[in-house]
Amino acid sequence: MSLYLDEDESFSLTAYVDSLGEQRIALTGYLVSRRSDGTYVAPLIPDLFYGVNGNQLQHSWRQDFTATGSQVILSRSGGLPKVPREDLYWRKVETRTPETQATPTEAIEEPKVVSMQTPSWILPVALIGGLLVVGLFIYKSR
């Protein structure tokens, strides 16, 4: 599942930490920017978040956990921390209008059930193979 955050949106992830030391908690998703010429998205990078110690993460999702228990492990408040636009990989995305939205029947396809019959030669081949294995086992155990 991907997370979509507006540029100025606040976010916090709380977790119960049960082991100390260095750990990696990575988010997948996009930062969303709505501009006059369209909507742009950029993949989330560590620099967009504050870590468990309250400092801005620096180019890595790794954090050093020094306490156990429930705590905020990733956060972002009102668009902070800021990252220069050129450090993010922005790409323009098409936005859907109500007329082009997928209808529920288009969005969800019914699963197709395909029945397959076992080929008629499988049973005899399996039986012969089993007999050979048992025969070899008996021969080797003598």
* Assigned domain for 137 exists: no
User: Per-residue pLDDT tens for 9-38?
Assistant: 999 999 999 989 999 988 899 999 999 999
Q: Tell me: the pLDDT tens digits for 117-140?
A: 777 787 888 888 888 888 888 888
How many structural domains does the chain have?
1
Helix (H) or strand (E) holding 133: helix 122-140
Is 128 within a domain?
A: no
Q: Mean of the per-residue pLDDT values for the chain? A: 85
Q: Is residue 132 part of a domain?
A: no
Q: Is 11 a domain residue?
A: yes
Q: How many CB atoms lie within 10 A of CB 74?
A: 22
In a domain, 55, yes or no: yes
126: in domain: no
Domain range holding 17?
Answer: 3-96
Asked, for residue 35, whether it belongs to a domain, the answer is yes
CA neighbor of 58 nearest in space, from 66, 67, 48: 48
112 part of a folded domain: no
